[in-house]
Structure 1
Amino acid sequence: MKYVIILGDGMADEPIESLGGKTPLQAAHKPVMDEMAKKAEQGIAYTVPDNLPAGSDVANLSMLGYDPQKYYSGRSPLEALSIGVDMKDTDVALRCNIVTLEEDGEYEDKAILDHSAGEITTEEAKILIEAVRKELEDDEYKFYPGVSYRHLTIWDHGKMADLVPPHDILGKKIGEYLPKEEKLREMMKKSFDILDHHPINEARAEKGLNKANSIWFWGAGTKPALDEFESRTGMKGAMVSAVDLLKGIAVGAKMRNLDVEGANGGLDTNYKGKAEAALEALLEKGDDFAYIHVEAPDEMGHQGNTEHKIQAIEYLDDQVVRIVKEGLEKAGEDFRMLIGPDHPTPIAIRTHTKDPIPFMIYDSRRSLGSQEEYSEAAARSTGLVMEYGYELMNRLLQK
């Protein structure tokens, strides 16, 4: 028996008027998932506790079976694990986004236009973070490059600062959301002077792309400690993801990270490559479980781009779900597959919510239920409610 979770990050949404009252999940052409829904179990699950932030860190821990009330110590420390930073007990890790701010006016009066700087390439971002590191790094603060706009700062003997995620304040003036800690605030201000006219950004502006002209600190956390996935589940597990957060969770859980060329966390990620990597792990490398994480629906939600969010879901259906399902069937493997988002990222508000997620569990051996489609409404209609999202893993494994 093989087990798979296919995670469409931020895939759930609210009904949208321009879609005739449908959600992107309902509007998407997803014949594979909808066909699976005819013999699958659907329900809703609460992956984010009321007292924790509605982030992919908390929600993906839940989806992997880790109670976030016990295991969550912040987002950035998980990313530090992925990058290979060995944190001390006295360190605090900070996510260091490269964002797009308005160019005019004083720093505090600028609005944040784009939390991802137009999904900047990892190659460009690495050069920009190096420019920031050269000017701002000292014995107290160390900078580490990550993937695309997502980078890391380690604060020696730091404190758990109250910091605002940039995707929560898109379009707003940043003054009231800047860190209270003077050094963090000053580094962010100086980064604008370093980055705004950097040759990389001048070239981006000439191409009509958003400048990556400021760093933004958020997601503070302390050194994490996760139980090994295999000792918890009895399974060897593999993680397929483009983003450091999920790779870091895998490192902490001692799962195998599968690197896929062209996997970048964006709409143009290598969906097919992710599916094929998971199949190789399950059918050739001896893994029992694969977690396939696709970031694109979440990114499109943050951008408020309905058309592209639908497109991301359609790519997920055709190039991930279909390929994995057909590959396991062709190999004659029995399998159980859980499909769902980690949290909703509604187009209307362009950020995460704590609303429950719609999930679907499919068993290749037998029918578990029947709905006409996989969607938020179909999942709610069954009446199955998982109050603790981390219990979904046991439901998938029938424990």
Structure 2
Amino acid sequence: MKLVLVIPDGCADEPQPILKGKTPLEAAHIPHMDAVAAQGMVGEADHVPLPMPSGSDVGTMSLFGYDPLLFHTGRAPLEAAAQGITLGPEDWAVRCNLVTTHDGLMKSFTAGQIPTDVAASLLKEMQAALPANTPWEFFPGVSYRNLLIFRGAGRTAPFDKTTSTTPPHDVTDQPIAPHLPQGQGADELLRLMEWSRDFCAKHPANRARGDNAATQIWLWGQGQRPALEAFTSKYGPQGAVITAVDLLRGIGRLIGWKVIEVPGATGYLDTDYAAKGRYAIDALKNGVELMVVHVEATDEASHEGHAFEKVKALEEIDRHIVGPVHEYLKSQGEYRLLVCPDHPTFLRTKTHSHGYSPFALCGTNVPQDNATHYSEPEATRAGTRLPRGCDLMNLLVKGVKK
């Protein structure tokens, strides 16, 4: 049995006036996703429980079959696992974006997609300026996505589970003041964020980027290492994930999946969709039982408010990933194929949202439910609702019991 989950991140949305009253899923030409819907079942799953932030860390944990209400501790420790950073029992990881703010507004949560070498050089200078006995360690990642680790052995952490922070991608074009860290330890996080401004302003390679220059670090998503049961123990199949996003790599590694690196996978609109499709098929040919293919482009288009780019990204996922992978699966015997995002990301707000996401599932032991398209209205009409989104993994692994 071969199993595949394709995640068009944040693709669920609202009807758009610019798309003639259609959602991006309805407006896109996605014959292969529609075929999954027509050959199986569609429905809705809630991957972001209301008490929790509507982030990809929460939604992805649910999609992978783990109840975030039980297992989620924060986004940053998942990304630390992706980078192979070991967290001790008293350590905390904090996500460290490089961002661009002007006149108190969040102009770019990516600092204009800052080059990785410039970001790494900036963080290296910041680390060198900290005292020798500092508990803080900067870990450069890719572009604006970096980490700050608090080493807690023998120390009291400045913050705890009540500390409140906001993802910068939820603040695009908004005043930053209402979204700064609050609660226990907020003063320390704010001090570091303010302290970083001078380094950004003086760094030659950063300054040369003009309006796209990073102006500061933004700290958020703090947490400690979660205790996740191995996927094989919980569900059975050996899994693997293709993604350009560290938090998915991190969850994958924490549950024992293989992380498959794909050249040209950028985590942005220019990602190599076809390469992701090819690598997924190759992995299935070489013994992977459960293949997860994640694409960030749809989410990025929403964060930037670009409806037509979101439609285009959906069409690329359909053409280069869902289509070829489905054809391969059908040639191999028993299989199941699931398409589902981790959460809605609304073009209107440019942010992640709570709410149900549409899914389409087809293959062995999946009944047809008369759906004809993969879209939000069709999923609502079909009537299958999973209030616990983590239950969707059981449908993929076990099929639908008659």
Q: TM-score, normalised by structure 2?
A: 0.92
Mind listing any 5+ residue stretches in structure 1 that lack a counterpart? 105-109
Task: Quote the RMSD (CA, aligned, Å).
Answer: 1.7
1:1-399 → structure 2 map (5 Å cutoff): 1-102=1-102, 110-136=104-130, 139-157=134-152, 158=157, 159-160=159-160, 161-180=163-182, 181-205=186-210, 210-284=212-286, 286-330=287-331, 332-363=332-363, 368-398=368-398
Secondary structure at the counterpart of residue 248 of structure 1:
helix
Q: Amino acid of the residue matched to residue 170 of structure 1? A: T
Structure 1 residues 312 and 156 mapped into 2: Cα distance closer, same or farther (>3 Å)?
A: same
Mind listing any 5+ residue stretches in structure 2 that lack a counterpart? none
The 2-side partners of 1:320 and 1:364 are apart by: 20
CA contact (8 A) 1:82 1:248 kept: yes
Q: Amino acid of the residue matched to residue 117 of structure 2? A: E
Displacement, 1:327? Answer: 2.6
CA contact (8 A) 1:136 1:187 kept: no
The 2-side partners of 1:357 and 1:398 are apart by: 21
The 1-side partners of 2:258 and 2:241 are apart by: 6
Structure 1 residues 126-150: Cα deviation after superposition (integer angstroms, max 9, x where no partner):
2333233333475221110112211
Secondary structure at the counterpart of residue 200 of structure 1:
helix
Structure 1 residues 328 and 387 mapped into 2: Cα distance closer, same or farther (>3 Å)?
A: same
CA contact (8 A) 1:195 1:214 kept: yes
Displacement, 1:360? Answer: 0.4
Structure 1 residues 217-244: Cα deviation after superposition (integer angstroms, max 9, x where no partner):
0001111111101111111100111111
The 2-side partners of 1:137 and 1:11 are apart by: 44
The 1-side partners of 2:172 and 2:131 are apart by: 27
Q: Amino acid of the residue matched to residue 271 of structure 1? A: Y
The 2-side partners of 1:367 and 1:40 are apart by: 6
Secondary structure at the counterpart of residue 43 of structure 2:
strand
Secondary structure at the counterpart of residue 185 of structure 1:
helix
Displacement, 1:268? Answer: 0.6
The 1-side partners of 2:379 and 2:54 are apart by: 20
The 1-side partners of 2:35 and 2:149 are apart by: 47
CA contact (8 A) 2:36 2:337 kept: no
Structure 1 residues 309 and 196 mapped into 2: Cα distance closer, same or farther (>3 Å)?
A: farther
CA contact (8 A) 1:128 1:200 kept: no
Secondary structure at the counterpart of residue 142 of structure 1:
strand
The 2-side partners of 1:83 and 1:20 are apart by: 43
Number of aligned residue pairs: 388
Displacement, 1:364? Answer: 6.0
Q: Amino acid of the residue matched to residue 23 of structure 2? A: T
Q: TM-score, normalised by structure 1?
A: 0.93
Q: Amino acid of the residue matched to residue 57 of structure 1? A: D
Structure 1 residues 240-263: Cα deviation after superposition (integer angstroms, max 9, x where no partner):
111110000011001101011111
Structure 1 residues 102-155: Cα deviation after superposition (integer angstroms, max 9, x where no partner):
1x5xxxxx2111112223333332233323333347522111011221111112
CA contact (8 A) 2:170 2:350 kept: yes
CA contact (8 A) 1:4 1:289 kept: yes
The 1-side partners of 2:250 and 2:258 are apart by: 11
